[in-house]
Amino acid sequence: MNTGVRLAVYGLGLVVAFGGAFGIAGAVVPDRVVTGWTEGSEMNGHEEGHDAGSAEVKSAAAVTLKGLALGVDGYELSPVQTPASVGELGELSFQIRDASGAPVTEYTTTHDKDLHLIVARSDGSQFRHVHPVLDEPSGTWSMPWQWAEAGSYRVFADFTPAGAKASGITLTRTVQVAGEFAPVAPQPTQVDQVAGFTVSIDGEMVAGSSSELMITISRDGEPVTTLEPYLGAFGHLVALREGDLAFLHVHAEGQDPKVGETAGPEIVFAAEAPTAGRYLLYLDFQVNGEVHTAEFVLDAARSGGSTGAETGSHMEGH
């Protein structure tokens, strides 16, 4: 093969390689999502010379994004063992390991549990919030498991190590589940129907600032006032950013409930969106001893009023 032919083949190989890389990136994080993050960052950088813009930049920078790493502060999430395919009965298991590689066996109880496990598919569907059991001698967390649908899943372990000065940590791993994969494109929705309950969410999310979100629960047109404490509150809200599934800082407002106390129909949360774009929210609430999960999709706006999701959708048509 002469030099010219070799160079041509090499150049073609580069085109294929880089083209494949861009194709994979697009499949992992939609272009619309990346556009929203990028434009939000560019706008913040442009406004640094202005008072309002500077406040937003500082506030956004102060928000720590959780759920994007398998290791934080010397702690690491081991590979997660699960059934390999849809419908297969088995066990989900993993360890939290310290800087020396030894399994962690002591934790600080947070929201009534030593560890919270969040599982969601890459498109935000198939959400589960569960609590595996720790085998203290081995430091292994486990629980029975079965996948309902195929796809790429993110497994989040949310915990606080033992120690007076320890703070909360969220670690993550990806698990691939074999089978036919039918991705779902999340669309904005502020009302969900679950087990006869109508659950709605009101409020506007703005990047770089704390936003109040009010959730109202009713049944058969009547307000539900029998919400029971669950995980130390009258509702537990998980929020993930579309695309990379980064955790938001979300917490319930008001005092912690007392034993036997009930509430409703409203629950108020404060959420901090680090960037403009689309966010997937999951509310766990308990009535009559049964836990239900309502799902919402909200778009967080930049301080100027538009959302990254809107901008990205508009640009896709050009």
226-247 pLDDT, tens digit each? 999 999 999 999 999 999 999 8
Within 8 A by CB and 6+ apart from 167, the residues are 160
Residue 309: per-residue pLDDT: 59
Same domain, 102 and 206: no
Please report whether residue 55 resides in a domain: no
Residue 35: per-residue pLDDT: 38
pTM value surpassing 0.85? no
309 phi, psi to nearest 5 deg: -65, -40
Six-digit token string for 265: 């129909």
Domain count, the chain: 2
Residue 62: per-residue pLDDT: 36
Same domain, 163 and 231: no
Six-digit token string for 276: 């403009």
Same domain, 238 and 144: no
Residue 66: per-residue pLDDT: 86
Please report whether residue 107 resides in a domain: yes
Residue 249: per-residue pLDDT: 75
Low-confidence ranges of the chain (pLDDT < 50): 2-63, 310-318
Residue 303: per-residue pLDDT: 79
Domain span at residue 173 reads 71-177
Please report whether residue 219 resides in a domain: yes
Residue 147: per-residue pLDDT: 98
Within 8 A by CB and 6+ apart from 220, the residues are 196
Residue 64: per-residue pLDDT: 59
pLDDT digits (tens, 9 = 90+) for 48-76: 333 333 333 333 333 458 889 999 999 99
Same domain, 169 and 205: no
CATH code: domain of residue 87: 2.60.40.10
CB 130 within 8 A of CB 183: no
Six-digit token string for 28: 């992992």
Beta bridge pairs of residue 153: 121, 175
